[in-house]
């Protein structure tokens, strides 16, 4: 079946068209530029931008996919978590398309989308896998079974800041601009990851904590006289984050007898994270799956991917009077539908 997916939880208006698990075409419109001078996403500005971009982005995605809107069999949309006003624009549009086309509406969890993005390039996930979800708002190690049936097991989460949030805050501290992840990665290329030994704080065996690391960078900068070694700071910070994320993710796989690790979410676009994860997974006999960088950050294709999996699984439709849930927890099965 042909699924139209709509994502609007943050600052990207994303639309993707997926047929039977295969991406036919997608389009992304970002309001990032409008937020730069504020140093972070402004919800009302993002919502307004979604409103302006939505219809043209849907049209462009449909064109690129080489299909027509009337071919669409279901509309999937991010119902949460995310910015309330931004989510509302996407859900209103999705309801409109579903009603106009006379097809099912499927409300999906944003993080299910991040994980499902991988299936567009690498096929269905095996019966059991571990997912490391690392994004702007989340850092979780999840044990996944049958995505449509088995409840997700949270092996660990962050006790404070998310990994992406840490990248963004440290980038601001080093005057590298926004968004911080790509800026740190770029600066780190010219730096020595071993120059400064930053702490690798954790909580419990599979839990994370990044606010202490951010503070350690801030203290180091405060105490330092003279020009800042920005490249070394960026590389050393990035190394600390990558070190804890990959060590715990691989440990989660081996200790649970799981042979597949999926890394998902915006931070999964990080080249150093991908490199170290590849090395450590190979050494542990774990198969690593990571989407292409452009499918790691927010996009509509990943939401259409969940929609495609839901229709395959014969999941119930969402109600047309469903609401957004800005703080939707990731519980139950990964592919549970929002009513
Ligand atoms: P969530 O998915 O938790 O709701 P979000 O949708 O805002 O949050 P994503 O779009 O998945 O987050 O990811 C954005 C985050 O990823 C930002 O914090 C950004 O700095 C980070 N990021 C993007 N590219 C990179 C990179 N190359 N290296 C490190 N971090 C990156
Ligand atoms: Mg974003
Ligand atoms: Fe996201």
Q: Which atom of ligand 1 is nearest to the CA of 111?
A: 2
pLDDT digits (tens, 9 = 90+) for 311-335: 999 999 999 999 999 999 998 899 9
pLDDT digits (tens, 9 = 90+) for 264-300: 999 999 999 999 999 999 999 999 999 999 999 999 9
Q: Which atom of ligand 1 is nearest to the CA of 137?
A: 3
Contact 160, 152 (CB under 8 A): no
Q: pLDDT at position 338, please? A: 86
- Single pTM value for the model: 0.97
List of residues 6+ apart from 78 with CB closer than 8 A: 6, 7, 8, 9, 87, 90, 107, 108, 109, 110, 113, 303
Q: pLDDT at position 40, please? A: 84
Q: pLDDT at position 39, please? A: 78
Contact 24, 67 (CB under 8 A): yes
Instruction: Say how far apart CA 23 and CA 14 lie, in whole Å.
Output: 13
For the chain, what percent of residues have pLDDT higher than 90? 95
The finding on whether 297 has its CB within 6 A of some atom of ligand 1 is yes
Which of 9, 131, 136 to probe ligand 1 with, by most ligand atoms within 8 A of CB?
A: 136
Instruction: Say how far apart CA 303 and CA 154 lie, in whole Å.
Output: 21
**Distance (Å) from CA 259 to ligand 2 centroid:** 30
Extract the tokens encoding 130: 């571990």
pLDDT band, residue 138 (cuts 50/70/90)? very high
Q: pLDDT at position 285, please? A: 98
- Residues in binding site for substrate: 133-137, 168, 181, 270
**Distance (Å) from CA 181 to ligand 1 centroid:** 7
Give, using CA atoms, the residue closest to atom 3 of ligand 1: 137
Give, using CA atoms, the residue closest to atom 25 of ligand 1: 181
Residue in the block written with tokens 């911080």: 180
Contact 1, 311 (CB under 8 A): yes
Work out the average pLDDT over 83-98: 98
pLDDT band, residue 14 (cuts 50/70/90)? very high
Instruction: Say how far apart CA 12 and CA 34 lie, in whole Å.
Output: 12
pLDDT band, residue 201 (cuts 50/70/90)? confident
- Residues in binding site for Fe cation: 110, 114, 298
List of residues 6+ apart from 9 with CB closer than 8 A: 78, 80, 81, 82, 83, 86, 87, 90, 110, 298
The finding on whether 167 has its CB within 6 A of some atom of ligand 1 is yes
ipTM above 0.90, yes or no: yes
The finding on whether 274 has its CB within 6 A of some atom of ligand 1 is no
Q: pLDDT at position 146, please? A: 94
With a cut of 90, say whether residue 151 has pLDDT above it.
yes
Give, using CA atoms, the residue closest to atom 20 of ligand 1: 181
**Distance (Å) from CA 163 to ligand 1 centroid:** 8
The finding on whether 97 has its CB within 6 A of some atom of ligand 1 is no
Q: Which atom of ligand 1 is nearest to the CA of 297?
A: 10
- Vertex 121: Cα angle to 263 and 328 (nearest 5): 50
The finding on whether 179 has its CB within 6 A of some atom of ligand 1 is yes
pLDDT band, residue 36 (cuts 50/70/90)? confident
The finding on whether 291 has its CB within 6 A of some atom of ligand 1 is no
Which of 171, 124, 113, 107 lies closest to 321, judged by CA? 107
**Distance (Å) from CA 270 to ligand 2 centroid:** 14
Instruction: Say how far apart CA 137 and CA 152 lie, in whole Å.
Output: 18
**Distance (Å) from CA 297 to ligand 3 centroid:** 6
Q: pLDDT at position 37, please? A: 85
The finding on whether 135 has its CB within 6 A of some atom of ligand 1 is yes
Work out the average pLDDT over 182-191: 98
Q: Is the peptide bond before 81 cis (omega within 30 degrees of 0)?
A: yes
Nearest-ligand number for the alpha carbon of 267: 1
Identify which has the larger pLDDT, 248 or 179: 248
Instruction: Say how far apart CA 7 and CA 110 lie, in whole Å.
Output: 8
Lowest-pLDDT choice from 57-66, 83-92, 292-301, 329-338: 329-338
With a cut of 90, say whether residue 165 has pLDDT above it.
yes
**Distance (Å) from CA 220 to ligand 3 centroid:** 30
Alpha carbon distance, N-terminus to C-terminus of the chain? 21
Instruction: Say how far apart CA 250 and CA 281 lie, in whole Å.
Output: 6
Q: Which atom of ligand 1 is nearest to the CA of 81?
A: 4
Nearest-ligand number for the alpha carbon of 133: 1
**Distance (Å) from CA 31 to ligand 2 centroid:** 9
């Amino acid at each position: 079946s042909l699924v139209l997916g709509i994502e609007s939880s943050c600052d990207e208006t994303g639309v993707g068209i997926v047929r039977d698990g295969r991406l036919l075409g997608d389009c992304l419109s970002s309001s990032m530029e409008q937020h730069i001078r504020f140093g972070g996403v402004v919800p009302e500005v993002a919502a307004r931008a979604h409103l302006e971009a939505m219809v043209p982005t849907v049209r462009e995605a449909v064109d690129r996919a080489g299909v027509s809107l009337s071919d669409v069999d279901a509309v999937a949309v991010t119902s949460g978590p995310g910015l309330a006003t931004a989510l509302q624009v996407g859900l209103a549009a999705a309801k409109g398309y579903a009603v106009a086309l006379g097809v099912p509406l499927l409300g999906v969890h944003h993080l299910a989308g991040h994980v499902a993005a991988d299936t567009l390039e690498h096929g269905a996930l095996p019966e059991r896998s571990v997912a490391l979800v690392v994004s702007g708002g989340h850092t979780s190690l999840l044990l996944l079974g049958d995505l449509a049936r088995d409840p997700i097991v949270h092996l660990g989460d962050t006790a404070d800041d998310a990994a992406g949030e840490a990248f963004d805050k440290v980038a601001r501290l080093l005057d590298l601009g926004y968004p911080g992840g790509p800026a740190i990665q770029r600066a780190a290329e010219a730096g020595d990851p071993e120059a400064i030994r930053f702490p690798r704080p954790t909580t419990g065996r599979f839990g994370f904590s990044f606010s202490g690391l951010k503070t350690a960078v801030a203290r180091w900068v405060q105490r330092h006289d003279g020009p800042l070694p920005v490249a070394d700071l960026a590389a050393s910070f990035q190394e600390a984050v990558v070190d804890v994320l990959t060590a715990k993710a691989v440990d989660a796989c081996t200790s649970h007898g799981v042979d597949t690790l999926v890394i998902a979410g915006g931070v999964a676009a990080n080249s150093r994270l991908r490199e170290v994860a590849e090395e450590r997974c190979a050494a542990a006999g774990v198969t690593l799956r990571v989407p292409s960088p452009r499918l790691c950050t927010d996009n509509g294709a990943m939401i259409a991917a969940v929609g495609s999996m839901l229709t395959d699984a014969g999941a119930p439709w969402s109600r047309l009077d469903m609401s957004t849930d800005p703080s939707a927890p990731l519980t139950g099965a990964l592919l549970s539908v929002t009513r």
